[in-house]
Structure formats: structure tokens, C-alpha cells
Amino acid sequence: MNILVTGGAGYVGSVVAEELIAQGHKVAIIDNLQQGHRDAVPPEAKLIVLDIGQGEALDEVFRQNRFDAAMHMAAETVIEYSMTDPRRYFHNNIIGGINLLDSMLKYDVRKFIFSSSAAVYGEPESTPIEESHPLRPVNAYGESKLMLERILEWYRKAYDLKYISFRYFNAAGASKHRGEDHHPETHLIPNVLRAVLNNENHMNVFGTDHPTKDGTCVRDYVHVADIARAHLLGLERLEEFSGRAFNLGNGEGYSVLEIVAAAEKVTGSKIQTLACPRRAGDPAVLIASAKQATAELGWKAEFPEIQVIISSAWQWLREHPHGYAKPQTIHTS
């Protein structure tokens, strides 16, 4: 199939593109490179540098290329910033998403896989979180993901769009060639590992007074390669499960301090922490129930162990200490 991947120069999108190509699909990537990286794009993929907010330019891409399906991962994602600048998140995540859907309909592309988020649930009433849990986002990022999920359902009813949404929890780890390189980096595991790599004096821990076992946030970490496999399974079974949302996670949560301890084992280094105030919009606990994805899609995490996840990220980071940026060559005379 010919698959369009938006955000395919980013962390999850590039690994999804890698997996699609490995399974014999042809991949075109749309990315504005605001957070993505040219070097993250698989060499077999076609890169189109474009912002999906540009509706007419997006139409032209569909006019010039034939796509069988689209996987949508382009989005503003930093939760903390979504609390201070929600307009940017709604503009980019909602308007951009609608532009993409409208271009698809104009050119009769009706298969869609959406990268949603556990942020649609907000503060959990019970854990692990099932798909039937109330949807009450506590930040604009989660609200934007939920709004687009609801728009997708209306497009399914009105225009026969076939879609599946994946609400994944904390993507982590790396494939052999592609890993996590955000600017700024707000995700825990790469920040812990960079603290070791850069010999930093400490790493910040945001919130030590949450109602959790050690006062720090608890999250469910899922390997990025497992997320990529789920997208392929969703595409294969789209006709059967159109209109559904599936959680992707391991069903087990780790606190910030437990991640630090696991990283210390992987790296063999002691990591000092500094307690900092909570970040706005951060739920205390997010743990997934992925039973539906397992029972219905046949998905199961191949890399559930937290030390395996951290080890893969550590290996990639040591091989790419500057991320995707190439270090400057210093010329001497």
C-alpha cells in the first residue's frame, strides 16, 4: 500500500515509517520539521516538507500522489506548554487535522490511523484505565486529541471514513536507527539518560507530593516499536474495527524515582535528583489497560520490561549523543 505518514520525521512517526517500509509498504512523509528531523526519515521514504495547516498545499500533495491510507502523528505535544498557549494547540492539532481529513475526502482516501493519547482521560477514576473510562482531559493537549477523535466519528458517519484511534501512554525506547530527540526534551527517560551522558549534577523531578507510592508521578511506558506494530495491525484490521479507540500500554506503572533507579542499573551511574514543583496539567497516575488491543487486534507488547526499554534508548543515545544533529567539525591550521 501507499501510506502517508504525517509527522513522520518525529519520534514515533519515524519508527512507524520504518516498520511500514520493513513490511513492504511505500511511505510518503509530511512534516514541517519544526520538531522533526530530516535524518530521522527512513531513506526509502519520500519526505514532503509541509505544514498541514496549509490546506491548499496539502491538497496539491494529494493531487500529485496516490495514497491508500494515512497515519496521522503530526501534532503539538508538550503538555506543559499546552496549559500556557492552548490556542497554538487547538490551531495546529484541530485545524491541521481537519485539513488533512478534508484533503483525504477530496481525493477519496478513506483509511485513517490516528495517534491519540492517554491524555484524553485526564485524572483517572480507576486504574488501569480502560477505553470506557470517562474522557475528561486536564490539559489542552489532551482536549485537542479528544476533539479530533470526536470529529473522526462524525466523518465516519457522514463520509464513510474508516478510522482507528490509538491512545498510547508514554512512548519510550528506540529502534536500532531511530530514537527520541525533542527540543526541548520533556520526556523522562531521555532526560534521565542525558543527565548521565552529559555528566550533569542532577535532574529535575517535577512534583514529589503526588498521591503515589513515593510522591512522584506514575506512568505506563510502552516501547515505540510496539506502538509502531500496533499501527500496522490497525491498518490490517481497519474494516473490522473502524470507529474504535484502543489503548496501548503495558498495564504496569513506574514512578519517576523508579525510572531513575532502573536507569542507574542500565547505565551503571548514580543519578542525583532535585525536587521541583509540579507541572500544570500532569495527572498523578496513568496506567493503561490494553486488554482490548490484545483481545481484538492481537497486539501484545514484545518489549514490556522497563530495563529493556531504557536499554534501547541508552544504546541509541550513546550512538547519537547529539541526537540527529551532526556535531560541528572544528578546523585547525
The domain that contains 161 carries what CATH number? 3.40.50.720
Is residue 83 in a domain? yes
141 given a catalytic annotation: yes
| Whether the Cβ atoms of residue 3 and residue 28 lie closer than 8 Å to each other | yes
SS3 148: helix
- Does residue 180 come out as left (phi exceeding 0), alpha (psi in the -120 to 50 range) or beta? beta
| Whether the Cβ atoms of residue 253 and residue 218 lie closer than 8 Å to each other | yes
Cα separation, 331 vs 17, in Å, equals 37
Please give the pLDDT value at position 326.
66
Q: How many domains does the chain have?
A: 2
- Does residue 108 come out as left (phi exceeding 0), alpha (psi in the -120 to 50 range) or beta? left
Cα separation, 46 vs 132, in Å, equals 38
Q: Last residue of some domain: 201, 232, 248? A: 248
Q: Are residues 98 and 210 in the same domain?
A: no
Q: Are residues 57 and 134 in the same domain?
A: yes
Q: Are residues 127 and 201 in the same domain?
A: no
Q: Are residues 125 and 266 in the same domain?
A: no
For residue 100, count other CB atoms closer than 10 A to its CB. 25
**Whether the predicted model's global pTM rises above the 0.85 cut:** yes
Q: Are residues 83 and 98 in the same domain?
A: yes
Return the CATH number at 279: 3.90.25.10
Q: Are residues 8 and 44 in the same domain?
A: yes
For residue 128, whether the previous peptide bond is cis, meaning omega lies within 30 degrees of 0, is yes
Residue 29: CA atoms inside 13 Å, Cβ hemisphere, count?
32
Cα separation, 12 vs 179, in Å, equals 9
Is residue 56 in a domain? yes
Q: Last residue of some domain: 202, 230, 248? A: 248
Please give the pLDDT value at position 81.
65
Residue type, 250: N
Is residue 19 in a domain? yes
Q: Are residues 209 and 301 in the same domain?
A: yes
Of 105, 97, 88, 180, residue with least CA distance to 141: 88
Is residue 179 in a domain? no
Q: Are residues 7 and 140 in the same domain?
A: yes
Is residue 180 in a domain? no
- pLDDT per residue, tens digit, the chain (333 aa), is 999 999 999 999 999 999 999 999 999 999 999 989 999 999 999 999 999 999 999 999 999 999 999 999 998 866 666 677 888 888 889 999 999 999 999 999 999 999 999 999 988 899 999 999 999 998 889 999 999 999 999 999 999 999 999 999 899 999 999 999 998 888 899 999 999 999 988 889 999 999 999 999 999 999 999 999 999 999 999 999 999 999 999 999 999 999 999 999 999 999 999 999 998 778 888 899 999 999 999 999 999 999 999 999 999 999 999 999 865 333 332
Cα separation, 273 vs 210, in Å, equals 16
Is residue 192 in a domain? yes
Q: Are residues 304 and 195 in the same domain?
A: yes
Cα separation, 228 vs 8, in Å, equals 12
Cα separation, 256 vs 80, in Å, equals 17
DSSP alpha helix (H) spans, the chain? 11-22, 55-64, 79-84, 86-90, 96-106, 140-159, 188-197, 224-236, 238-241, 256-267, 291-292, 306-319
Is residue 234 in a domain? yes
Residue reference for cell 494529494: 62
Q: Are residues 156 and 271 in the same domain?
A: no
Is residue 125 in a domain? yes
Cα separation, 111 vs 198, in Å, equals 44
| Whether the Cβ atoms of residue 70 and residue 4 lie closer than 8 Å to each other | yes
Q: Are residues 109 and 202 in the same domain?
A: no
Q: Which three cell numbers stand for residue 77?
A: 505535544
Q: Are residues 71 and 47 in the same domain?
A: yes
Domain range for 137: 2-172+222-248
Annotated active-site residue in 81, 121, 141, 155: 141
